Amino acid sequence: MATVADRKLWLTDDRSETVEDGDPRAAFLLCSAGDEVSDEDAKRYGVKSKAKSANKEQAPPANKGGVSFSKAR
């Protein structure tokens, strides 16, 4: 299973370090936000996963966003 990157990361010229986008030492693009990175590379370079929070994976409740009223007689 691959890891989905949460931001753009670069490797230094000797490919020994991972640096943030905009770092002057950046030489080789490792990944952009949303890219899949192999688990091996993610572990080696410290790529964080863009994981969904637990509540985002749940189905919304049936009455989300609305209010239901019953008519009084």
Model pLDDT for residues 33-50, shown as the tens digit of each residue: 889 988 898 888 887 776
Q: Look up residue 24 and give its two tokens.
A: 């002057």
Domain positions in the chain: 1-36
The pLDDT of residue 68 is 52
Q: What is the CA radius of gyration of the chain?
A: 21
Return the pLDDT at 72.
62
Low-confidence stretches of the chain (pLDDT beneath 70)? 50-73
Q: What is the pTM of this model?
A: 0.61
**Which pLDDT value is given to residue 63?**
60
Output the pLDDT for position 22: 94
Task: Decide the pairing of beta strands 26-31 and 36-37.
Answer: unpaired
